[in-house]
């Protein structure tokens, strides 16, 4: 059976790419759109009380397969995740991002002036479209097409500035609150930390820990663990910072935290067993 997290199909409607693989009353190629709020929660059902499976950041692209009753059924362009977003979190405008946010968090201002009350906040990984760059009283800003502005030093064109390896990026998110389904610097879960950090380092990773454990990189022996390797438990993943220390978003501290590998194995094993696999991306 196809994974419903990555394949959009229901008895009444399915993604056109699944023609011949699933049965549905009709198929659609969908329409492009992008996220226009800071962080949008993607849900398995069109219900505001349903838990979020993952999040999409400002500027992320999706394919909209259906709009109904204030909800949009979408497939995320970056990782293929399928779910429901409130329809008003999306724009049909054909936006081509030019930059993304490289600081863990930054503010949006209504104009190029940091002394004006901010009108929003963006997470690392958010995509923006810049119209021009200005300097006001010694501070440089990037202006968006609607006139809003962000601090220029908090942004870069993808690949413009080296951000370090993905472990260094993950370490900048230390103390970020834990959030089930979270994938932003405002709240993040274990596999979201892996995916977001790797994305900012120019590497691709699937969204959930079971997907990552199944095929991200190559399997290695626990004796060979080093910086950048991943340790998986059932339903959890952690990033090795060095041979003895890991970084992970976890429910024990309810934050992104450092922890000794041996201590983590002992603590987690008490409830959930030993690691099931180690991988090198």
pLDDT band at 75 (very low <50, low <70, confident <90, very high): very high
CA gap 127, 95 in Å, rounded: 10
Round to the nearest angstrom and report the end-to-end CA distance of the chain: 27
pLDDT of 91 strictly over 70? yes
Question: What pLDDT was estimated at residue 51?
Answer: 96
**Percent of the chain scored above 70 by pLDDT?**
99
Structure tokens at 121: 């906040």
Which residues in 221-275 belong to E strands, given as ranges? 230-233, 236-240, 245-250, 255-260
Strand 14-15 relative to strand 27-28: parallel, antiparallel, unpaired?
parallel
pLDDT of 219 strictly over 70? yes
SS3 breakdown of the chain: % helix, strand, coil, rounded to 5? Answer: 15, 40, 45
Question: What pLDDT was estimated at residue 156?
Answer: 95
Question: What pLDDT was estimated at residue 94?
Answer: 66
Pure H helices in the chain: 166-171, 190-200, 209-215, 261-272
Question: What pLDDT was estimated at residue 40?
Answer: 98
pLDDT of 259 strictly over 90? yes
Residue 107's H or E segment, with its range, is: strand 105-108
Question: What pLDDT was estimated at residue 162?
Answer: 66
Contact 264, 252 (CB under 8 A): no
- Supply the mean pLDDT for the chain: 96
pLDDT, mean of residues 98-110:
97
Structure tokens at 81: 């995740």
CA gap 281, 265 in Å, rounded: 21
Question: What pLDDT was estimated at residue 210?
Answer: 98
pLDDT of 258 strictly over 80? yes
pLDDT, mean of residues 211-223:
97
Contacts (Cβ under 8 Å, ≥6 apart) of 137: none
Contact 206, 216 (CB under 8 A): yes
Strand 277-280 relative to strand 230-233: parallel, antiparallel, unpaired?
antiparallel
**DSSP, residue by residue, 66-96:** EEETTEEEEEETTT--EEEEEGGGEE-S---
Query: Which tens digit of pLDDT belongs to each residue from 135-182?
Result: 999 999 999 999 999 999 999 998 776 678 999 999 999 999 999 999
pLDDT of 266 strictly over 90? yes
pLDDT of 255 strictly over 70? yes
Specify the pTM. Answer: 0.96
Q: How many CB atoms lie within 10 A of CB 183?
A: 29
Contact 57, 124 (CB under 8 A): no
pLDDT of 1 strictly over 90? no
Pure H helices in 76-206: 166-171, 190-200
Query: Which tens digit of pLDDT belongs to each residue from 45-57?
Result: 999 999 999 999 9
Mapped onto helix, strand or coil, the DSSP state of residue 126 is: coil
Query: Which tens digit of pLDDT belongs to each residue from 2-47?
Result: 999 999 999 999 999 999 999 999 999 999 999 999 999 999 999 9
pLDDT, mean of residues 225-248:
98
């Amino acid at each position: 059976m196809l994974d419903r997290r990555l394949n959009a199909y229901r008895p009444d409607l399915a993604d056109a790419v699944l023609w011949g693989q699933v049965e549905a009353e009709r198929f659609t190629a969908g329409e492009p759109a992008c996220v226009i709020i800071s962080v949008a929660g993607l849900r398995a059902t069109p219900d505001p009380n349903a838990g979020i499976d993952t999040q999409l950041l400002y500027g992320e692209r999706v394919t909209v397969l259906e709009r109904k009753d204030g909800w949009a059924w979408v497939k995320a362009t970056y990782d293929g995740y399928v779910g429901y977003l409130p329809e008003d979190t999306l724009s049909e405008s054909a936006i081509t991002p030019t930059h993304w946010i490289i600081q863990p968090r930054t503010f949006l201002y209504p104009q190029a002036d940091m002394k004006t009350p901010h009108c929003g906040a963006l997470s690392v990984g958010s995509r923006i479209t810049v119209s021009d760059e200005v300097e006001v009283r010694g501070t440089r800003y990037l202006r968006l097409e609607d006139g809003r502005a962000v601090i220029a030093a908090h942004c870069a064109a993808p690949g413009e500035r080296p951000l370090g390896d993905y472990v260094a990026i993950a370490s900048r998110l230390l103390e970020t609150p834990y959030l089930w389904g979270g994938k932003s610097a405002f709240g993040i879960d274990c596999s979201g930390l892996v995916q977001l950090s790797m994305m900012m380092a120019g590497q691709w990773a699937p969204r959930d820990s079971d997907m990552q454990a199944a095929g991200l990189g190559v399997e290695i022996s626990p004796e060979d663990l080093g910086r950048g390797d991943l340790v998986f438990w059932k339903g959890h993943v952690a990033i090795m910072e060095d041979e003895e220390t890991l970084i992970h978003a976890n429910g024990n501290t309810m934050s992104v935290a450092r922890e000794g590998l041996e201590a983590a194995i002992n603590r987690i094993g008490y409830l959930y067993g030993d690691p099931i696999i180690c991988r090198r991306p």
